Amino acid sequence: MPRTNGERTPARPTSVRQHQRHARILRVAARLGAEHGLERMQMHDVARESGVAIATLYRYFPSKPHLFAAVMHDQVLRMEAETPPPPPGTEAAEAVGDLLTGASRRLFEQPLLALAMMQSGNVSTTGTDRRSRTTDEILADLVLRTAGVAEPTERDRSVARILEQAWYGLLTTVLYERASHREALDGIRLACRLLLRPV
C-alpha cells in the first residue's frame, strides 16, 4: 500500500482557470491510471500530460492516493449527475441493483483504474471544507434517491452505508481476482434485496 502524506491539506481550486486545470489533471490521471495502475503511474507523467508544473500537481494532490481518491470523487459526482430517476413503480431493490451493477460493469472495464481508486478510497478529498460531501456521502445519497427515499431516516442512511460497504467489498473480490464478475453482480443484487426489502 502506498504511503500517503497525511500532513499537507490539498489546495482547492477557486477560479475558473484553476477548476479547468484541476479537471484536466483528473482526466489525465484517470487515463494513465487505467493504463498503469496506482503503483506504476508516475506523478511526473500526469503533470507533463496535464500541462502543469509538478509543484502545482502536488499542491492539489500531495500523493498518488490523494489523486486517485479525487478521481473517484469526480466519477461518483458524475454518476450522480447522470443517473435519472427510476421509472415509476420500480422496486427499490431492483432500481438500486441496476445502479450498482451498471457502475460495477464500467469499473470492471478498467480494472487497474478501479483498483487504484479503491486502494485510495480512505484518503479525504474534501480538505477543510466541511460543506463538501465525501465520496461515500454522495454515493449514499444517490442510493437513497434511486430507492425512492425522499426523506431518509437514520435507519435509511445506515442501510445505504452498509449497502455501499457491501458493494465495495464485492468489487474488491473481483479486482483482486478472488471472484468472477458474475458472482459479484449476483452478490450485489442479493445485498440489495436483503437490505432494501420493506420492514
What is the domain-level CATH number for residue 131? 1.10.357.10
Query: What pLDDT, in 10s, does the model give residues 8-37?
Result: 688 888 999 999 999 999 999 999 999 999
Q: How many separate helices (H) and strands (E) can be counted in the chain?
A: 9, 0
Within a domain: 111:
yes
Query: What pLDDT, in 10s, does the model give residues 110-165?
Result: 999 999 999 998 776 655 455 589 999 999 999 999 999 999 999 999 999 999 99
Within a domain: 123:
yes
Within a domain: 45:
no
Query: What pLDDT, in 10s, does the model give residues 170-187?
Result: 999 999 999 999 999 999
Within a domain: 29:
no
The angle at the Cα of 173, spanning 172 to 175, to the nearest 5 degrees, equals 60
Q: How many domains in the chain?
A: 1
Within a domain: 36:
no
Q: How many CB atoms lie within 10 A of CB 99?
A: 22
> Is-contact 28 20, C-beta < 8 A?
no
Q: CA-CA distance, 123 to 69, in Å (whole number)?
A: 6
| CB neighbour burial string for 128-143, b if at least 16 within 10 angstroms, e if fewer | eeeeeeebbbbbbbbb
Radius of gyration (C-alpha) of the chain in whole angstroms: 18
Provide DSSP, 38-49. Answer: HHH--HHHHHHH
Within a domain: 180:
yes
**pTM of structure:** 0.88
In the numeric block, which cell numbers belong to residue 175?
479486482
Residue 31 has φ and ψ, to the nearest 5°, of -65, -50
Within a domain: 85:
yes
Domain span at 79: 64-195
Within a domain: 135:
yes
